[in-house]
């Protein structure tokens, strides 16, 4: 029986790239379902969306692939159905080790963005948060730079970086990363689930 995984859509591109490797290493399939990214801007919206999808965990325990800080009671939501939750507080911590994040944080006040976050910034910030450019500039204004975690899933164009810069007025730079840390996190959680079945 496939392992049920309910994930934030912010991980969709990365999970779909890694899925064949993960399933091969585990020797089992994952039944992935995604919720739209950006629901974490409002606790009630996110909890309602997760609750509507919790039926995928009826027959067995699964993985709720969200950060612990994406909702004020994320551990409680996961606990309702016995779903495993990553230790990561947010999507950035799912891709960067604590050591690497600490190293990057030492370079200034950094706002991190995943590749999916950059690709979906309009949906997340303009539609989800309801921000105009002035709101973005107020909210991002304290950051020295925005670092996009570039795991090589697609080409990030200068135009895409400039569009986000125009929205935030904060310098945007790329930081190449591998998906190994994320893959190891997902594999570890799946193995923990398999041990409980």
Residues 147 and 172 in one domain: yes
Question: Which range of residues forms the domain containing residue 133?
Answer: 97-176
User: Are residue 129 and residue 163 in the same domain, yes or no?
Assistant: yes
> What digits encode the pLDDT tens for the residues 90-99?
999 999 999 9
Q: Does 107 share its domain with 84?
A: no
Within this chain, do residues 31 and 43 fall inside the same structural domain, yes or no? yes
- Residue 10 sits in the same domain as residue 79: yes
Q: Is 176 exposed, middle or buried (0-12, 13-18, 19+ CB in 10 A)?
A: exposed
State the pLDDT at residue 181: 97
84 and 105, same structural domain? no
**Residue 65 near residue 22, CB atoms below 8 Å:** no
Residue 165 pLDDT greater than 80, yes or no: yes
CA distances to 1, 3, 34, 41, 172 from 116, rounded to whole Å, are 29, 24, 13, 16, 15
Q: What percent of the chain has pLDDT over 70?
A: 99
Q: For residues 28 and 61, state if they share a domain.
A: yes
Q: Which residue, among 68, 26, 33, 75, has the nearest Cα to 188 in the 3D structure? A: 26
For residue 2, pLDDT over 90 is answered with no
pLDDT band at 143 (very low <50, low <70, confident <90, very high): very high
Q: Are residues 150 and 185 in the same domain?
A: no
For residues 78 and 145, state if they share a domain.
no
C-alpha closest to that of 169 among 139, 129, 148, 149:
139
Number of domains in the chain: 2
Q: What is the pLDDT of residue 135?
A: 96
- Shared-domain flag, residues 23 and 75: yes
7 plus 82 within the same structural domain: yes
């Amino acid at each position: 029986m496939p392992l049920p995984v309910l994930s934030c859509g912010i991980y969709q591109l990365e999970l779909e790239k890694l899925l064949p490797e993960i399933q091969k290493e585990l020797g089992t399939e994952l039944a992935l379902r995604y919720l739209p990214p950006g629901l974490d801007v409002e606790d009630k919206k996110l909890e309602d969306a997760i609750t509507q999808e919790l039926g995928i965990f009826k027959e067995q325990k699964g993985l709720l692939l969200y950060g612990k800080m994406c909702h004020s009671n994320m551990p409680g939501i996961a606990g309702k159905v016995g779903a495993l939750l990553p230790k990561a507080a947010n999507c950035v911590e799912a891709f960067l080790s604590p050591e690497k994040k600490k190293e990057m944080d030492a370079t200034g006040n950094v706002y991190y963005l995943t590749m999916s976050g950059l690709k979906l910034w309009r949906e997340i910030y303009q539609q989800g948060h309801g921000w105009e450019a002035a709101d973005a500039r107020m909210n991002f204004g304290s950051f020295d730079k925005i670092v996009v975690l570039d795991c090589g899933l697609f080409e990030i164009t200068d135009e895409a970086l400039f569009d986000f810069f125009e929205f935030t007025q904060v310098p945007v730079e790329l930081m190449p990363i591998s998906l190994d840390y994320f893959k190891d996190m997902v594999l570890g959680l799946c193995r923990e689930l398999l041990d409980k079945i």
